[in-house]
């Protein structure tokens, strides 16, 4: 029994070491943010994943909104943001989709440049600048390569949980630790995308303070039953607003020089 226990520990350690080596070996500097990240996908794989997933995502939200003029506005604002930012020189292919769902207030980006906004959110926006705030944030997710990073981190924690299960019956504990870490990093993704979004808005000539009004819309839509920050991938809207204000100060000063 004692020998069997030692073998299990050795196998667990080997799995953990191999998993961690793979994770570290996948790290690279994101040329759009300057941040070192572990990446599970290269840009071409991100683009392919996004294009493959886009039709299914649209179907889950009732298809595309059947108003050509509204879709043209989304395309126009999205193109202006891309053309006036680092997104213009990226590998990614940007497509902007207005979804028919009139109940779910949401916007999201798939890897590689497929960006979506529901009609429920679109209809709440009061200006083109607010629409720009939503789309700029989602472009930030694409250039931040957040999906690729989260996939890499999920693989790390799954491998460590497997190692813990083999070596010391600690797989469940490690899985819980990983889930909490992924939630924390998810909140970091949102703040980074807000920061990039402010930058893109200013560069494209939009009023970045309108992004704050978007946060207020999202806060109102969540109501009193909003999920606590520590249980969500999204920071509390009040915290996001404070960070957005700081980003506006930084970029207004930077671009004024």
Q: What is the mean pLDDT of the chain?
A: 83
What pTM was estimated for this model as a whole? 0.83
pLDDT at 89: 95
pLDDT score of 42 more than 50? yes
pLDDT score of 14 more than 90? no
Boundaries of domain holding 32 = 2-256
Cross-strand bridge partners of residue 97: 116
For 48-105, write each residue's pLDDT tens digit.
999 999 999 999 999 999 999 999 999 999 999 999 999 999 999 999 999 999 999 9
Return left, alpha or beta for 223; rule: phi > 0 is left, psi -120 to 50 is alpha, else beta.
left
For 90-138, write each residue's pLDDT tens digit.
999 999 999 999 999 999 999 999 999 999 999 999 999 999 999 999 9
**DSSP sequence for 49-93:** HHHHHHHHHHHHTTSB-S-HHHHHHHHHHHHHHHHTSGGGGSS--
pLDDT score of 35 more than 90? yes
Domain total for the chain? 1
pLDDT at 234: 65
For 213-248, write each residue's pLDDT tens digit.
999 998 887 765 555 544 455 677 788 999 999 999
Burial of 108 (0-12, 13-18, 19+ CB in 10 A): middle
Cα–Cα distance measured from residue 127 to residue 256, given in angstroms and rounded to the nearest whole number? 25
For 140-168, write each residue's pLDDT tens digit.
999 999 988 888 777 655 655 665 565 45
């Amino acid at each position: 029994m004692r020998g069997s226990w030692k073998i299990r520990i050795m196998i667990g350690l080997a799995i953990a070491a191999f998993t961690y080596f793979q994770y570290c070996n996948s790290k690279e500097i994101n040329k759009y943010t300057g941040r070192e990240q572990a990446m599970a996908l290269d840009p071409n794989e991100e683009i392919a994943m996004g294009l493959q997933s886009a039709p299914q995502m649209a179907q889950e939200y009732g298809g595309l909104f059947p108003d050509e003029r509204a879709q043209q506005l989304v395309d126009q604002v999205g193109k202006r943001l891309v053309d006036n930012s680092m997104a213009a020189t990226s590998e990614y292919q940007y497509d902007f989709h207005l979804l028919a769902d009139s109940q779910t207030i949401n916007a999201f980006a798939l890897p590689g440049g497929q960006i979506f906004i529901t009609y429920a959110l679109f209809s709440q926006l009061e200006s083109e600048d607010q629409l720009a705030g939503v789309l700029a944030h989602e472009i930030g997710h694409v250039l931040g390569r957040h999906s690729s990073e989260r996939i890499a981190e999920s693989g790390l924690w799954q491998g460590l949980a497997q190692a813990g299960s083999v070596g010391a019956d600690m797989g469940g504990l490690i899985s819980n630790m990983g889930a909490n870490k992924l939630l924390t990093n998810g909140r970091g993704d949102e703040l980074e995308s807000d920061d990039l979004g402010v930058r893109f808005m200013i560069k494209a000539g939009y009023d970045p303070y309108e992004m704050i009004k978007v946060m207020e819309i999202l806060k109102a839509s969540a109501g009193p039953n909003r999920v606590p920050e520590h249980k969500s991938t999204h920071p509390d809207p009040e915290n996001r607003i404070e960070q957005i204000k700081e980003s506006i100060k930084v970029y207004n000063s930077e671009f004024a020089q």
